[in-house]
Amino acid sequence: MTDKSKSFGEVFDAHTFAEFQARDIEATMATMGGAPHVTHVPTMTGGHGLDGVRKFYETWFIGKWPADTVVTSLTRTIGETGLVDELIISFTHNCEMPALLPGIAPTGRKVTIPFVVAVGFDGDKISYERIYWDQASMLVQLGLLDKTALPVTGAEQTARLLDPNLPSNTLIPK
């Protein structure tokens, strides 16, 4: 591992620790560069610039996750200017989560979903985060979308990632 890749990983690990375990806005912002941006692609939530990102984190993200949230790393790829993490996030939807589920009241249902986070760096600070997940799969797991009417899945996505021996092509008509 190069010094740069170790640095990127250490910075992002400190960032996610501050977000999810410490729930500390100052520690989170300390990992960010001077003009960061955060985009949750499926919901178009996030912020731009220090003030916008801070407001997003303070108002809609940090502390707006269920207490039982578990983030499990699957893979990390480190490049010249950033890293990409493939994660599984699990939680019970027992609180409002405006960044991921804007306007959706708590359902009390369990969710387990793959996430991909692309993180750019400027030196040793985070310049951007782009976070991707399958919103339809999340809505299926919350009972808000009927998967029998659409070619979508629920928690099966995560199960298949963890066990590649599980069936593929289940949505293709026979």
Which pLDDT tens digit goes with each residue over 8-28? 999 999 999 999 999 999 999
Q: What is the pLDDT of residues 47-86, one digit of tens each?
A: 999 999 999 999 999 999 999 999 999 999 999 999 999 9
Predicted local confidence at residue 69, as pLDDT: 96
Q: Where are the beta strands (DSSP E) in 10-58?
A: 32-40, 45-48
Domains of the chain: 3-162 (3.10.450.50)
How far, in Å, are 16, 28, 57, 100, 163 from residue 23 at the CA level? 9, 8, 10, 17, 32
Q: What is the pLDDT of residues 90-114, one digit of tens each?
A: 999 999 999 999 999 999 999 999 9
- Total residue length of the chain: 174
Cα–Cα dist 2/4, whole Å: 5
The pLDDT confidence band at residue 174, using thresholds 50, 70 and 90, is confident
For residues 130, 78, 74 and 98, what is the CA-based torsion angle, rounded to 10 degrees? -20
Q: Is the pLDDT of residue 2 over 50?
A: no
Q: Is the pLDDT of residue 5 over 80?
A: no
Q: Is the pLDDT of residue 6 over 90?
A: no
Share of the chain above pLDDT 90, in %: 90
More confident residue, 23 or 173: 23
Q: Is the pLDDT of residue 1 over 50?
A: no
The pLDDT confidence band at residue 149, using thresholds 50, 70 and 90, is confident
CB of 70 closer than 8 Å to CB of 90: yes
Amino acid, single-letter form, for residue 82? G
Predicted local confidence at residue 106, as pLDDT: 98
| Full-model pTM | 0.91
